[in-house]
A and B are shown apart, each in its own frame.
Chain A
């Protein structure tokens, strides 16, 4: 089975610093592989440990630095890396991202069975790219997947966690599966993996390699745009500090609509 693992390099959102104008200070912001994509990798590695002939190709669309993210997942066990990189791809929203990735898969990696994505990317948290890739490839999708239970010829069975409960679903391949946090031990890079990652040749494709025109990709190909970005506002209140417990009891009772 050939797996395409879609990964995204994201800024480390736990470590955000602000400029005086309330914009995010981007210099010096560390990049990490989106944690949900690491969970997707772990599901792929789990399949690899249970079945024969599983091949994992990690793919990312991003700036040239995103190559680092590909090498990171190769060190953790992916077999090879593919980078979609072109100035014309920059500024893409989820629509343009999904379209570009799908076009690259269709034209360059025809021979695939399963596309794994993270459920969300922690920077944007849109959860749209996976279903978008599935739509453009016209294949099924299963989102919010906790576990890939079984792979039989042409199908996988997964556990999907919805708001209402757990669904066990069998889906026909090829399909896109978006992975939630599973119950795996965190994978650590091995020495061999690190050496392999350093030696690996990353395949690179740009706009000329895929069947799309520049107006269909990047900022130009994006139907949405950010009209304003601002620091999350605090609730507009003035905290009234309370000195003793008696008064606190009164406040609680009055909010509850109970008067004594």
Chain B
């Protein structure tokens, strides 16, 4: 029997559990089924009293056990204090695999943990599997998304981070008998080396919430101008969707950075992704290829975007999109 797969439960500033926690849990349950009696364990480090609010969520997402550290000093995320709490708990749990979100928190904390435990960490994975030797095979893009590498770790725990939206949560209708265990860590005479003086919430551009959009209308250089993006906005509004962009469109100032999809932007997984005037460079494709359906509109019939699209329309976006707006 193995000691388990540990999933880092990320608490956001606003004290909710980051959805990536459940996406990872879904994957952990799948991986555990390929291993020998392997429990899926959540690790929550937070200020006191939060665990109660999250219990139901843990029970419905397949966790066998949740270990939690609840300390006043963990009120806000601070690398050093969180690392100390997490490492202490992990040493007790002694898991075989640790999965964390590739969020700014996860990518700050995970290397601190892996280096302290003298083990390997694979960042920003797009696929996880258990290989024939029972080891975690973590696949990630490298070289700007052009090469995929499957990475194994010689040491244990084997660690990986995964971006939000790469996996899907596996919500259970029934409750699981999750065991909750409090883990005490004494942080009383430990002071953080950092002090958070101020925090400004990110101003999201209008209603553009790419993370949860079911429909995304994305524009590239082929949309040519800000007016072109206004047209996309109308198109998206008609469909109840959000607007995204390629990096070139962002660099040309046609759309804000928050809209960028791809290797250096967001990963999105809507039900429908409509790529307008986007050539389909690999760095763009890695951010949208897990969409359920992809439609591409491009005036070049050989554009690589058609290799990843379910449906293609060869034509001028300025001719097609107004017609679509009128008839949808």
Contacts and interface: CB of A to CB of B under 8 A. Distances in A.
Q: Secondary structure of the A side of the interface?
A: mixed
Given A162-B105, A242-B312, A245-B327, A223 B154 contact: yes
A132 to B, nearest CB: 5
B199 to A, nearest CB: 5
A165 B201 contact: yes
Given A144-B104, A246-B327, A252-B328, A224 B152 contact: yes
Contacts of B199: 165-168
Tell me if B's interface is mostly helix, strand, loop or mixed.
mixed
Interface string B130-165: 010000010001111111111111110000000000
Nearest to B272: A255
B4 interface: no
Contact of B194 (A131, A171, A255): A171
Given A163-B103, A224-B121, A245-B327, A239 B307 contact: yes
Nearest to B280: A234
A16 B312 contact: no
Interface string A13-25: 1101000000010
B149 A168 contact: no
Contacts of A170: 194-195, 197
Contacts of B151: 224-227
A253 interface: yes
B79 A228 contact: no
A214 interface: no
B194 A241 contact: no
A16 B274 CA distance: 28
Given A127-B123, A164-B201, A224-B122, A240 B154 contact: no
A13 B293 CA distance: 29
Contacts, number: 224
A165 B202 contact: yes
A213 interface: no
A142 interface: yes
A166 B146 contact: no
A141 B193 CA distance: 9
A136 interface: yes
B119 interface: yes
A246 B323 CA distance: 9
Contact of B202 (A93, A125, A166, A227): A166
Nearest to B77: A162
Contact of A237 (B118, B201, B310): B310
Contacts of B150: 226-229
B148 A132 contact: no
Interface in B201-245: 201-202, 215, 239
A122 interface: yes
B9 interface: no
A232 B154 contact: no
Nearest to A248: B313
A109 interface: no
B282 interface: yes
Interface in A127-149: 127-128, 131-132, 134-136, 139-144
A231 B104 contact: no
Interface string B85-129: 000000000000000000111011011101110111111100000
Interface residues of B, number: 79
A171 B197 CA distance: 10
A161 B258 CA distance: 13
Interface in B262-313: 263, 271-272, 274, 282, 285-286, 289, 292-296, 306-313
B106 to A, nearest CB: 10
A230 B145 CA distance: 11
B142 A123 contact: yes
B115 A131 contact: yes
Nearest to B139: A228
A55 interface: no
A169 interface: yes
B324 interface: yes
A122 B144 contact: yes
Given A13-B146, A234-B307, A253 B328 contact: yes
Contact of B115 (A16, A135, A252): A135
B80 A140 contact: yes
22 contacts: A95-B119, A123-B142, A126-B123, A131-B79, A139-B193, A163-B105, A169-B195, A169-B197, A170-B197, A223-B154, A224-B154, A226-B149, A228-B149, A229-B147, A232-B285, A234-B308, A239-B306, A240-B312, A242-B311, A242-B313, A246-B327, A252-B239
Interface of A: 11, 13-14, 16, 24, 93-95, 98-99, 122-128, 131-132, 134-136, 139-144, 157, 161-172, 175, 222-235, 237, 239-242, 245-246, 248-249, 251-253, 255-256
